[in-house]
Structure 1
């Protein structure tokens, strides 16, 4: 017995460090040395510069670029790649021993988030390859719309057919809309007809804007909808409706169905509701009363499952006895099958959703990005050392008590009320964290500060697919909202630059600082996008000549930064054309969403409130969708974003033309002005879609003439100011 080998625990997951880590660290050392040299030159050349204001602005720009470069390197310090082994899980943990799973899906506005799409997302989750009696799906409708409730009543009926069909056919795409659009299998004709009937019924109700009595199948449903007559979006009691109950409802094959629960938390115009974070906390409490699953999956309403094995992949980490005591969540990347060929808006956002999380995974784990994330319920109730008994403060569910029992529904309505959180720690140390419009970033960061860890799960087959905005204004508006949210955290008492580096680790603090200080990009991008170009027009050199050895140091820093970004992008299965779109969108965001986000945050700090949370519309006209598929930028409206873009684009175009003419005329003109000519040319090449939309296009997505006129006027004002500023320095 003494010599008997100890039985080895089954391997549920594994990981490998990036083989390029030593090269990354060497590159960090070389770049840091070059940056220090450039900053040293800047600092001591300001006093002797004929243009001290320009030199000072360039120094400020380079300091911010250096700071952002430094915090970016924390993602490259120890990136890892993980792999799960669900086949081992099946042998180690039989289905009856798998933990229960609650799925949260939030929606807020049926006019912007079509209920049929939200219902499809829920159906794909109901069809997970997971024991039905251990699965519950909770829908949060923050719009309290009877149209949304009706859509889910129809979806519940369709689930009786869809779940056994999808499991029997072993299909992987278990979102009905996606599946029927991608197959012509005659075996699916009958179920496809049922789906089309359901879809037509829901769309008919949406067109009418109301649910008529003749659509109800039962008196119970009719009685339910009578309660909605006096409801408004901002004033209504809590609504909790059990649409499917595992202990009661069966599919057409006689198998139990998962639980499906519709929730609309109480709203009052006199109470603040904390946007999506408040809705998720209400679901945390309601689900705690009704099912209390130890694992929770959060999904956006425009997201659907692409791999029914996703929960089992997550369980490979949650069921690891060494990892689970401190594991707060398992984050899957967001993937977007609807992006056009070259992803013109950089919608994949690979750095946020794939590259950076892999780097953080080698430290304490990736940040939470709001969707496609499996959480430990226990992590929402305090640090890993907190007593597990706190989890049971709401739970009244027992194995013999049905979800629809009067006692459980009464308690569920109570915890979904406006007053329930008053005087509690909800939103501060319990549940999703309040105080930021980016509740995901704030919550994940605070969980890491409490001692929790996380895991990045990026399987070969994407687990979840999302929809993306397909107009430039929607893309930039969404990004500006994110900027506001992360700034609210960065400048709070829990700032990752101060609090985070102490509570988590130095490198993790830098990782969160990178996201938290996104908006700082606007300063160097604006300076490098305008100042050298205005100086070029006035023939004022700001950079070393090509014949000066310092030129090669600048060239090295520029090329190394872009080449490393390109390598990271290609290593994440990107393409060169999509990388070009991604770096162009970084420049566009710098002078639009980053700039306006920073300005709006500053105004908010002095008492001028920011607009409320705006839901991005998921409905687009056919002509807009067609232009997006063809890779054509969509402008079409008068927006401050487009005025900013147009102004910078026109300044660079004029500067490049004038600069080229002067360089040809002047002896050694290219040697002296090469860097400024290159910067102008670089912006001009990136701005081609803007010039096209201003002067060449005739369709509805072009830049309005009013925006073009204002941009030309502002460009003229900038040139006039630069003429007087450079009067004394002009050659």
Structure 2
């Protein structure tokens, strides 16, 4: 039914008009609102089609089927706002007119249920009278299937989706991560003690729908509340529903709900409640992360900043928990400095760290081992593996020189009125060769992305500085080079982490290798930096 409807809708969009010979009687109601011409995928009326209705549809054994309604909100050049949050708000309003169920579940399109007991687990919290008055949502961790053994891109995001939410759960609850979350519908209409009256009675969270979902009156109202111009004057996205103002609408919505006085609950059963797909190419992951960084800076620098507004509403600890994510993009500054400055100084023979004989040398070693050791312990305690932890810390450095850096750049340019941002949907499409390389733990580059240039430059500069430093120790002796040992160790550490880059630039000839164009640009820029650092 869905595929048949999809073909008819795409035919209408392709031709720019609805032709009667391409629709049947059942589909006439879907296209009843399509009274204009020149439709495109970016400009078309609302589509609402009841595929299954619980009052009449039965399965093969005679059991009642659940309601299933396909919805595509109106697309218009004059009004395009909210991206995913706008679509979610449209669904909240449409579902209110058709069933108005008190509990709402949000899932990404690639997620599927992995445990039939999940709904019962969520309802246990919603039926608890002690926590219900202030509980907005029950968040399940986002867990992925199909990851290779080492999770080379760290798509698991164990800290974000599993470790940190448990700490936040001890305060006001975890942040909303965009999927695997059950909401109390009442939470979309103001704080626990500050109810906002929606513009029509049918959208009130306590309204009881008494008419069939396929009735003409219900469908008329559903089309009305789904229209682009409906929420423009009604406060949706600003005082009600999912919040606009950031590309990471999930983070922002969870944050704003908790600022209003709502709390969340983190439910982490042993069997994953939902499973989803993850990117299997590096560029898809970096693009996704760049969008996150861009959106997080939106929140950090807005009137609802986690450092000001959040501190007043949430308290010190919860405010810092949200700020930890909001400042993520800014970490590109120290990461970039550590990736280039000590190495360039090493090429010039300049010492910037303490000598081995200096007591401060031990402090640097202690801080390095302590920080990485603590992070490794957290990872292992949450049933992680050493190889996945190693790949996670390597990806953190790669993000710092790509997604974090370009996210900051995009945000800065957008703030100056130079619009470069957009909502980049992460590709989950796979082909056999690409999947095979991913399963073997081989990094996938393949495209000539500017985000590959800084990391390639860092790989080359660290390799050159490590080689020069190592030869210096061999030829001049450890005593004469003790002031440069920390810089040599740092370069060696980066070189070990950059092996996939060296492999992709030099040793591979498959479609996933580093594009020659990127390698040449990185080598050229690296040579300029080296000449500048060495003074010749």
TM-score, L = length of structure 1: 0.69
- Report matched runs for 1:221-370 at 5 Å: 221=27, 224=30, 230-370=38-178
Match of 1:533 in 2: 343
1:371-404 CA-partner distances (Å, limit 9, x unpaired):
0011111111000002486597334974541001
Match of 1:691 in 2: 502
Match of 1:12 in 2: none
1:147 aligns with 2:29: no
Greater than 6 Å deviation, 4+ residue runs: 148-151, 211-216, 225-229
Q: Does the 8 A contact of 1:484 with 1:601 survive in 2?
A: yes
Match of 1:219 in 2: 25
Equivalent-residue separation in structure 2 for 1:400 and 1:543 (angstroms): 74
Match of 2:14 in 1: none
Q: Does the 8 A contact of 2:100 with 2:208 survive in 1?
A: no
Equivalent-residue separation in structure 1 for 2:298 and 2:425 (angstroms): 19
Match of 2:372 in 1: 562
Equivalent-residue separation in structure 2 for 1:554 and 1:352 (angstroms): 27
Describe the SS at the equivalent of 1:374.
strand
Equivalent-residue separation in structure 2 for 1:562 and 1:391 (angstroms): 53
Equivalent-residue separation in structure 1 for 2:435 and 2:210 (angstroms): 51
Describe the SS at the equivalent of 2:136.
strand
Describe the SS at the equivalent of 2:451.
helix
Describe the SS at the equivalent of 1:587.
helix
Q: How many residues align?
A: 525
Q: Does the 8 A contact of 2:99 with 2:209 survive in 1?
A: no
Runs of 5+ consecutive residues of structure 1 not aligned to the other structure: 1-114, 120-144, 152-210
Q: Does the 8 A contact of 2:97 with 2:209 survive in 1?
A: no
Equivalent-residue separation in structure 2 for 1:233 and 1:146 (angstroms): 15
Describe the SS at the equivalent of 2:442.
coil
Q: Which shifted more, 680-689 or 563-572? A: 563-572
Describe the SS at the equivalent of 1:419.
coil
Match of 2:13 in 1: none
1:534-555 CA-partner distances (Å, limit 9, x unpaired):
1111111111111111111111
Q: Does the 8 A contact of 2:280 with 2:428 survive in 1?
A: no
Q: Which shifted more, 269-278 or 597-606? A: 269-278
**C-alpha displacement at 1:665, in angstroms?**
2.1
Match of 2:435 in 1: 625
Equivalent-residue separation in structure 2 for 1:656 and 1:554 (angstroms): 19
Q: Does the 8 A contact of 1:146 with 1:225 survive in 2?
A: no
**C-alpha displacement at 1:432, in angstroms?**
0.5
**C-alpha displacement at 1:226, in angstroms?**
8.9
For 1:492, which of 302, 313, 323 is the aligned residue?
Answer: 302
1:15-44 CA-partner distances (Å, limit 9, x unpaired):
xxxxxxxxxxxxxxxxxxxxxxxxxxxxxx
Q: Does the 8 A contact of 1:295 with 1:377 survive in 2?
A: yes
1:37-63 CA-partner distances (Å, limit 9, x unpaired):
xxxxxxxxxxxxxxxxxxxxxxxxxxx
1:412 aligns with 2:222: yes
1:532-589 CA-partner distances (Å, limit 9, x unpaired):
1111111111111111111111111111110111011111111000000000000000
Q: Does the 8 A contact of 1:378 with 1:391 survive in 2?
A: no
- Report matched runs for 1:151-190 at 5 Å: none
Equivalent-residue separation in structure 2 for 1:148 and 1:327 (angstroms): 42
1:634 aligns with 2:444: yes
Equivalent-residue separation in structure 1 for 2:29 and 2:201 (angstroms): 33
Q: CA RMSD in A?
A: 2.4
1:627-677 CA-partner distances (Å, limit 9, x unpaired):
101110000111111111111100000000001111222241442211101
Equivalent-residue separation in structure 2 for 1:280 and 1:512 (angstroms): 23
Describe the SS at the equivalent of 2:106.
strand
For 1:720, which of 519, 527, 531 is the aligned residue?
Answer: 531
